[in-house]
Structure 1
């Protein structure tokens, strides 16, 4: 029997949650809800989910604080909801490890499209690595079950998509990939990202793993083509 996709929604707007619940059930997702920050944090840290939809403005504990705690132990995709169309909030959420965001008021069609996309990316990559418990290189080691990466024995703090991207490149070290190929393989769908976003992910990874960001050792740029993971890595 196929595993049921579980989605946790943390939002204090109970009327909105009721609407979201109907749409999730119609899409055959298993939905769970929390209406306070404290309750949502407890569910997020103790349950197993394929996606968390998280409002920024919550009673007791705000969404950004919850996201920070989630990222200490999980790479589950997180879709942030915000009532404020402020770029600073969105940037802060993405920096803390959010995978996507929506500004209220949004259409349910757009929300479901974002949910479907994040779930598809997450489950596609997990299936592709299901047969591999670990990948060990000279300096890095990956555990695809716990989704933990060690650099010289020290655990790295990576978002879900950063783990996916780094694992993909490392598993094919020495092989050159274009930005289009990277997106299709890691995101699991037709190329829809602009080059600047791919470059942003690479830049964030380099800051976390490279001894010298100005002279990258692990993730190398092949000018005019794309990127490759160092064969000696």
Structure 2
């Protein structure tokens, strides 16, 4: 299967290199150089991954991401400025699945891309072969459609938020450390990236909990990690 990747970046030289290296890995790559054209392309055609720069003409990466998340849960890898913690956190809060800072090595970049797509496709395959509906409390998780409903109302989740929710909900009551969650959901070795996990947990709670400050589903086990309760009535 040939995976399609959309790259949105105004750095022409970088785009040429990225397209070349991704092409050598067998990916079908489309490149756009400004935010508006990138957004339009993402809405017209289906992609397995969107690689999105933060600093873009016409629309910045955050604006593009926000629009994408209104209708799509496609995985998004953000390209951020070196050591820009603000960009990283902002992207994750809006709905990015991962980020990589410029400049980056080719090997690290390819590894990130492969990890995101592999995890996305593995969960899609699992959802097709396992029980199609998972019901916990007032939540209904349709794993085949990758959709989540609460009280019959659709909740818009990013790809990574869905992966995180499905992992915890399908292991109801089990306590997982941040390291275990990172390995299972991000399909990567844990690198003390607590902020990434915490941002996703916080975003997910805002979407599925009636009172995020007093969660009933995603529970914190102090000093250990998290578990899924599912006791909301």
Asked whether the two chains share a fold, i.e. TM above 0.5, the reply is yes
Cα 1:191–1:232, aligned 2, differ >3 Å: closer, same or farther? same
Whether the 8 Å contact between 2:82 and 2:103 is mirrored in structure 1 is: no
CA distance in 2, matches of 1:194, 1:18: 30
Cα drift, residue 51 of structure 1: 1.0
1:141 and 2:140 equivalent? yes
Corresponding residue pairs, total: 231
- Give the alignment's TM-score, normalised by structure 2: 0.85
Whether the 8 Å contact between 1:125 and 1:188 is mirrored in structure 2 is: no
Cα 1:127–1:103, aligned 2, differ >3 Å: closer, same or farther? same
Deviation sequence 1:98-145 (CA, Å, 0-9, x none) = 122233333323322221222222222222222243323330112234
> What 5-or-longer segments of structure 1 have no aligned partner?
none
Cα 1:180–1:12, aligned 2, differ >3 Å: closer, same or farther? closer
Whether the 8 Å contact between 2:7 and 2:51 is mirrored in structure 1 is: yes
The residue aligned with 2:124 is 126
CA distance in 2, matches of 1:204, 1:93: 12
Correspondence list, 1:69-218, <5 A = 69-83=67-81, 86-131=84-129, 132-195=131-194, 197-218=196-217
Deviation sequence 1:144-193 (CA, Å, 0-9, x none) = 34422111222223222111111122222233334333333322344444
CA distance in 1, matches of 2:11, 2:178: 39
The alignment yields a C-alpha RMSD, in angstroms, of 2.4
CA distance in 1, matches of 2:195, 2:59: 33
Deviation sequence 1:21-64 (CA, Å, 0-9, x none) = 11011111111112232221111122221211112222322221
- Give the alignment's TM-score, normalised by structure 1: 0.85
Secondary structure of 1:33 counterpart: strand
Whether the 8 Å contact between 1:178 and 1:225 is mirrored in structure 2 is: yes
Cα drift, residue 83 of structure 1: 4.7
